[in-house]
Structure 1
């Protein structure tokens, strides 16, 4: 990513191999950078941003919607889940995945490839982060139970492939943050899982093991 300031206005150039996004505060600054690039390189202008590395962008006067519907549909097609019955949640709260019990997969690479593709979808799907974070922990020795849990995420995607992140253009936007944690949910380590969402969102295991439940609130 490259940035340039022109009289207090910013222009941002994002490059991934031969795919480029150019954005800025003023159209004239963007045009200036495009002209400079065209003098040095052979470029093809594709117009307003609509698709980039699997991310679909829909821009209106009210805001910006970013989703990965095509990527999700391609994943469902590749895995044979395009016609599967959908479900209402990405994971079953009654099932606790563990690294010590189950039947090892004959082909662990199948699991790793699937989890990797699911992980990419979390760019625009905060609702998947917890479930995918759980699946990522078992890539070294995945069991059939872990693969079934990954298949449930596919069924959930089948029910809502076009969901994503919406950025409002309203000037009265307020920043509201939430943080929550469970208590010793991992059956293998007894560590808690914390979820945070602000500008960017994250999901990770706690490094410490809390001995009493009242400590979780801090």
Structure 2
């Protein structure tokens, strides 16, 4: 009768990163340093996993090597690794108590292998889900920031102090110069443009003039003037 051997248990660098809360690239860097220092298996080669169409390195470590990595990386998480190894080894225990008849032994081994595969699958899903949630939060934050910027620009346009248009009062306040509205009005008439009206607390409604009118009449660049405001 052929002798059945227990599968070799390993722990991936990705799982170590998840258990310790460290970035995976930092875990891999520590592993490479330990290999260079001949503290880990010198023959240990990186494997590849695909994420968003790109290939990245990762390592599968023995129990001993995983302890060494965590001791170097973040010793306070050693207990987490010990607990995880106990969980993995408990799942593997049925392999060492296989039935004596071959058909039953093969069924038991197949069940155990399926359990190990499911556990690995769940770990991979957890890692990907964590990354997805992080990316989603970043995307939401960027979208919110973009909306805030757009709303801020819209309000500036409404009050006549933006890169697109500005009132006499807004430009005079920033330049400390005095301007008259008549040349700006003539420029608008010549170009078939009707000055927009914006609210002003003191005068009610006042005109706001476009970027090119200010540029052509007074050589005032609204982009430079309001760019930092």
TM-score, length-normalised on structure 1?
0.21
Larger relative CO (CA 8 A, sep 6+): 1 or 2? 1
Greater fraction strand: 1
Larger Rg: 2
Greater fraction helix: 2
TM-score, length-normalised on structure 2?
0.21
